[in-house]
């Protein structure tokens, strides 16, 4: 943690302790004296904030400034029936627009671009978050919102949109329609900015090729401003995040302890400047890792990896946390392996045994492929597994990736 970052962190703690009824009570009940936090190493003693607590604070229990300072609210769906309401001050809105503008500039968007925004507007943060960022850099926003693909395509052609902002699944719908209608020559898109959800490389390539665009992954969540807290640059080696606004930690979701540098785990975020609803060590439930070292682009902002999935998809085998997204990534880099796989975990003779069943491309040699996968697994994920290579079409198909892991140990 940088020195300036820790100074911001301490200032933030002091403000929470003075102004936030939610955190005052939290510090009291967990017997935390914020004056005991003297170095970055002490941060791990501070309590986490969970989505359940945000639900319980409904509607405005998180508010940490007087009523007259709040200028807007947004909301996200909750884990229970109640949504989470996040109040924003004018400074929060301004900071968020600055962060989004930074994202757009890194993606190479200029004042000459015309940006078609297809995520939803309203209580949802996506549409309006992009909108304010686009306006901040002086590009032209085309605030479509979601759906109505006919109209989207008509505007895309008539307005000569150059940047498409969409979820990956909606971008695929657009790409397929463009191909079906044979209108690619009328499309002027050059860039796409898409949410960092876990999506297959095949889908990404399809969108890229059909629309002839470069794709940037953007990340964010309503609890922490909204989209725009990180984005990947032209080197696509991970997403740069804004450490002058946010402090990122990666923890083991089972134990709550910090993981080793560069390891996957749950992303935990502390807002360093937020006023309306500041959050301390918020558990996002998103799985990623911090990427050590510097990016070739030379930007001063650190990087995290793409989001590999959600904490509830995690399994622990031989003491190592494994996420389906990690296996996707691993198989993607191995020639001859298809993206279809199934994991079987058993407990025999006092030991965990993991079998990875993988479908192979028709030309691949099953023995060599099996050996290669086992080697890579040991090298990248750290445990020895058994590999069972099967032919295309042999494994069951499921929409949900988490269904690919069958754990017999607790049955
Ligand atoms: Zn970079």
pLDDT tens, 56-109?
A: 999 999 999 999 999 999 998 766 678 999 999 999 999 999 999 999 999 999
Q: Distance between terminal CA atoms of the chain? A: 43
How many angstroms does the Cα of residue 300 sit away from the middle of ligand 1? 9
Whole-number pLDDT of residue 399:
52
How many angstroms does the Cα of residue 208 sit away from the middle of ligand 1? 20
Whole-number pLDDT of residue 198:
65
Q: Is pLDDT of 337 > 70?
A: yes
Q: Are 64 and 19 in contact (CB under 8 A)?
A: yes
Say yes or no: domain 315-407 is CATH 3.30.300.30: yes
Say yes or no: domain 89-310 is CATH 3.40.50.12780: yes
Whole-number pLDDT of residue 232:
95
d(CA 402, CA 310): 10
Q: Where are the domains of the chain?
A: 89-310, 315-407
Whole-number pLDDT of residue 246:
98
- What number is the average pLDDT over the span 351-367? 94
Whole-number pLDDT of residue 79:
60
Whole-number pLDDT of residue 119:
93
Instruction: List pLDDT tens digits, range 102-118.
Output: 999 999 999 999 999 99
Neighbours of 19 (CB within 10 A): 16
Instruction: List pLDDT tens digits, range 232-255.
Output: 999 999 999 999 999 999 999 999
Task: Name 193's bridge partners.
Answer: 165, 216
How many angstroms does the Cα of residue 384 sit away from the middle of ligand 1? 34
Tokens at residue 278, please? 């500041």
How many angstroms does the Cα of residue 71 sit away from the middle of ligand 1? 34
How many angstroms does the Cα of residue 236 sit away from the middle of ligand 1? 7
How many angstroms does the Cα of residue 358 sit away from the middle of ligand 1? 33
How many angstroms does the Cα of residue 49 sit away from the middle of ligand 1? 30
- What number is the average pLDDT over the span 324-343? 88
The radius of gyration of the chain from alpha carbons, rounded to an integer in Å, stands at 23
Whole-number pLDDT of residue 289:
95
Instruction: List pLDDT tens digits, range 290-329.
Output: 999 999 999 999 999 999 888 988 888 988 889 888 888 8
Neighbours of 270 (CB within 10 A): 24
How many angstroms does the Cα of residue 136 sit away from the middle of ligand 1? 22
How many angstroms does the Cα of residue 103 sit away from the middle of ligand 1? 11
| Topology alike, domains 89-310 and 315-407 | no
How many angstroms does the Cα of residue 235 sit away from the middle of ligand 1? 6
Q: Are 204 and 106 in contact (CB under 8 A)?
A: no
How many angstroms does the Cα of residue 302 sit away from the middle of ligand 1? 9
pLDDT confidence band for 162 (50 / 70 / 90): very high
| pTM check: above 0.85 | yes
- What number is the average pLDDT over the span 42-68? 95
Whole-number pLDDT of residue 127:
95
Q: Is pLDDT of 211 > 90?
A: yes
Q: Is pLDDT of 398 > 80?
A: no
315-317 and 320-322 strand pairing: antiparallel
d(CA 285, CA 265): 9
How many angstroms does the Cα of residue 243 sit away from the middle of ligand 1? 14
How many angstroms does the Cα of residue 220 sit away from the middle of ligand 1? 18
Q: Is pLDDT of 227 > 70?
A: yes
Whole-number pLDDT of residue 118:
96
Q: Are 221 and 246 in contact (CB under 8 A)?
A: no
**Strands across the sheet with 282-288, in order?**
246-251, 265-271, 282-288, 309-310
Which of 52, 89, 45, 51 is closest to 67 using CA atoms?
89
- What number is the average pLDDT over the span 125-138? 97
């Amino acid at each position: 943690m940088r020195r300036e970052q820790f100074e911001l962190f301490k200032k933030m703690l002091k403000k929470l302790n003075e102004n936030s009824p939610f955190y005052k009570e939290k510090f009291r009940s967990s017997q935390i004296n914020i004056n005991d936090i003297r170095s970055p190493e002490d941060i791990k003693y501070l309590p986490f904030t969970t989505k359940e607590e945000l639900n319980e604070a409904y509607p405005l229990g998180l508010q940490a400034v007087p009523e007259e300072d709040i200028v807007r609210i947004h909301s996200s769906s909750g884990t229970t029936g109640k949504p989470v309401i996040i109040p924003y001050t004018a400074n929060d809105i301004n900071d968020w627009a600055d962060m989004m503008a930074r994202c757009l500039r890194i993606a190479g968007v200029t004042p000459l671009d015309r940006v078609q925004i297809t995520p939803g507007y309203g209580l949802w943060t996506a549409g309006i978050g992009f909108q304010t960022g686009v306006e901040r850099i002086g590009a032209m926003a085309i605030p479509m919102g979601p759906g109505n693909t006919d109209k989207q395509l008509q505007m895309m052609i008539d307005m000569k949109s150059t940047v498409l902002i969409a979820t990956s699944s909606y971008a695929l719908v657009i790409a397929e329609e463009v191909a079906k209608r044979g209108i690619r020559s009328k499309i002027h898109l050059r860039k796409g900015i898409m949410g960092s959800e876990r999506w297959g490389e095949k889908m990404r390539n399809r969108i890229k090729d059909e629309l002839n665009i470069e794709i940037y992954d953007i990340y964010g969540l309503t609890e922490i401003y909204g989209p725009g807290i990180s984005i990947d640059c032209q080197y696509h080696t991970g997403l740069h995040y804004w450490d002058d606004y946010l402090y990122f930690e990666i923890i083991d979701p089972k134990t709550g302890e910090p993981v080793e540098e560069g390891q996957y785990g749950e992303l935990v975020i502390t807002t360093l400047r937020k006023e309306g609803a500041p959050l301390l060590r918020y558990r996002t439930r998103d799985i990623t890792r911090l990427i050590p070292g510097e990016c070739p682009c030379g930007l001063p902002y650190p990087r995290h990896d793409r989001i590999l999935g959600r904490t509830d998809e995690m399994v622990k085998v031989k003491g190592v946390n494994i996420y389906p997204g990690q296996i996707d990534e691993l198989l993607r880099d191995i020639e001859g392996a298809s993206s279809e796989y199934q994991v079987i975990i058993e407990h025999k003779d006092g030991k965990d045994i993991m079998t990875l069943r993988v479908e192979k491309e028709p030309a691949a040699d099953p023995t060599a492929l099996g050996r290669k996968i086992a080697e890579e697994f040991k090298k990248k994920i750290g445990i020895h597994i058994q590999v069972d290579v099967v032919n295309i079409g042999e494994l069951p198909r499921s929409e949900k990736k988490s269904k690919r892991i069958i754990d017999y140990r607790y049955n």
